[in-house]
Amino acid sequence: MTNILEVSNLSVLDKDKEKLLDDISFSIEKGSSLGIIGESGSGKSLLVKTSLGFLPKGLKASYEKISLFGKDVYDISRNKSKKLIGENVGYIAQNTVEYLHPLIKIQDQISDGFIDHKLGNKKEAREKALDLLELVGIDDPDYIMSLYPNELSGGLKQRVNIATALMVDPLLFIADEPTTALDPKIQYQVMELLRKNHERTKNSMVIISHDLSLIKNYCENVLVIYNGVVQEKGKVENIFNNPKSDYAKALLDVNVKFDQDKTKPLKDIRGYLKTEV
């Protein structure tokens, strides 16, 4: 099966030459789903951003290979890179407050990518946007389209971002904490939408989350990261049922369960984490 993203021996250093990511290798097969888990500050978001060519300023990356749809995004022009990602990748950023442009109405922000990359017209874009906004649980999508981001709650912004990411029918869909700011009912609705879309389009899906049950229920493969280092990777059922690394065991052990002994204190994970970029 073809890998649509392949990363070999990727490291990222800060200005003090401290490693934020240390010699990470992984791949995403066409049509597969990957969950990336680890604590805040472990390097999950930085790994994905760097793999897509969005290395934050002030950091330096070294790698043996980064191949996105057969292209090294650091070895082609910025315009070609933007076109490659715009046409094929749907990305939901973790920080929904900053991701939407404050001075542009929702109807334009959700439609522009579809018009630019799929060469559709405004009418087609609007019809698709309305359908997607309804699918992610927005009761009055026509009204929401007329608003500016500052007029939306955090949950509504998150749902708008999800709909926007799905507008181009991406071959690679990436969601960084997709259920943040959503109530449980909408969380389930959104994740089922992403699952059904994944099954229907046969796209590749990456979910970054602190929610271990979410990764277990919606991903085939998992990458466990701690302090910028991959601790374990493999099939979800193997790692959740029989983790090999001490960190994966500890991470699963601290996950709160309804039937756990309430007289015993929660276990902690030793060590410290770097700041997530």
Q: What is the DSSP string of 131-190?
A: HHHHHTT-S-HHHHHTS-GGGS-HHHHHHHHHHHHHTT--SEEEEESTTTT--HHHHHHH
Tokens, residue 264: 């015993």
CA atoms in the 13 A half-sphere facing the CB of 33: 20
Tokens, residue 96: 């929904």
Distance CA 186, CA 171 (A): 24
Distance CA 200, CA 187 (A): 20
pLDDT score of 94 more than 50: yes
pLDDT score of 246 more than 90: no
Measured N-to-C along each axis, helices 106-118 and 154-166 cross at an angle, to the nearest 10 degrees, of 10
User: What pTM was estimated for this model as a whole?
Assistant: 0.85
Class of the CATH domain delimited by 3-247: alpha beta
pLDDT score of 256 more than 70: no
* Structural domain boundaries in the chain: 3-247
Query: pLDDT band at 266, cuts 50/70/90?
Result: very low
Query: How far apart, in Å, are the Cα atoms of 65 and each of 1, 62, 70, 202, 224?
Result: 18, 9, 11, 25, 20
Tokens, residue 241: 């049922």
Query: How far apart, in Å, are the Cα atoms of 112 and each of 5, 87, 104, 108, 129?
Result: 25, 12, 11, 6, 11
Res 210: pLDDT: 81
**Identity of the amino acid at 58:** G
Res 258: pLDDT: 42
- pLDDT 10s digits, 2-35: 899 999 999 999 999 999 999 999 999 999 999 9
Res 265: pLDDT: 52
Residues of the chain with pLDDT > 90: what percent?
61
Exposure b/e, 99-118, CB count within 10 A at least 16 = b: bbeeeebbbebbbbbbeebe
**Identity of the amino acid at 194:** L
Res 89: pLDDT: 95
* Span 33-53, average pLDDT: 93
Backbone angles phi, psi at 233, to 5 degrees: -150, 150
